Structure 1
């Protein structure tokens, strides 16, 4: 086989495999919103981006440019923001809460302007006030 053709097939296969091995999709998630000035904790069902993105660990890190060492994360491709009124708030309290809804996801650089780029999720999935559930 011609080396150029073999190289082309190998490159196409690698690019196809890279995208097929990435499992970065919107998943259901519950956000708990609680404010001292409000009588209720609001549990909002929404979607966030979650999943596995192909990464690489180069053995020759010192020889490659810094841009080649960037690891990709599962992040938003298309996102919309919705607002909810938290019930039972005092009149002076800011009673609206805006939250993201992932419409589609992609593997890419984590942008700290709109994403939390932490490795572990925080354990704040609870309410201390009575709960009100809101479904999308």
Structure 2
């Protein structure tokens, strides 16, 4: 192997990790309960962005664990709780939601992340909207 090839490979590996644009991003969640009068719009942060991945053309030659691609996922997160307005007394009016503190490129963990590629548009209100002020 030529020294140019080895240096290019090392540069690509090092630059690939720094070029990953995975970071907390502002996002609005719309929350409503059937019993409550209002829909609550909550401003939070989620992990979003680009992570370097590898093309797995040799699917038959690689182990199944080598085929999973990196995604932008939570490195550190915390939960906050909001009060949904207009709920009757017999209903629990609280909603807990995640806030991304920091993010990383890694394997998707289905315990706390939605790893589906296709996104269905369900983030909307069917009731009058209130903004969550924290």
- What TM-score, normalized by structure 2, do the two folds share? 0.89
Aligned to 2:71: 73
- Shift in alpha-carbon separation, 1:88–1:43, aligned structure 2, 3 A: same
Q: Partner of 1:85 in structure 2? A: 83
Structure 1 residues 47-126: aligned runs within 5 Å: 47-126=45-124
Question: Over residues 89-127 of structure 1, what are the superposed CA-to-partner deviations in whole Å (9 max), with x where a residue is unaligned?
Answer: 011112100000001111111000111111133212321
User: Tell me, which stretches of 5 or more residues in structure 2 are unaligned?
Assistant: none
What is the deviation of 1:73? 0.8
TM-score when scaled to structure 1?
0.87
Distance between the aligned counterparts of 1:62 and 1:12, measured in 2? Answer: 27
Q: 2:31 aligns with which of 4, 9, 33?
A: 33
CA apart distance, 1:4: 9.2
What is the aligned length? 134
Deviations 1:34-65 (A, max 9, x none): 11111111000000011111111223222222
- The residue number in structure 2 matching 1:14 is 12
Unaligned runs of 5+ in 1: none
2:127 to 122, 126, 129: 129
| Aligned Cα root-mean-square deviation (Å) | 1.9
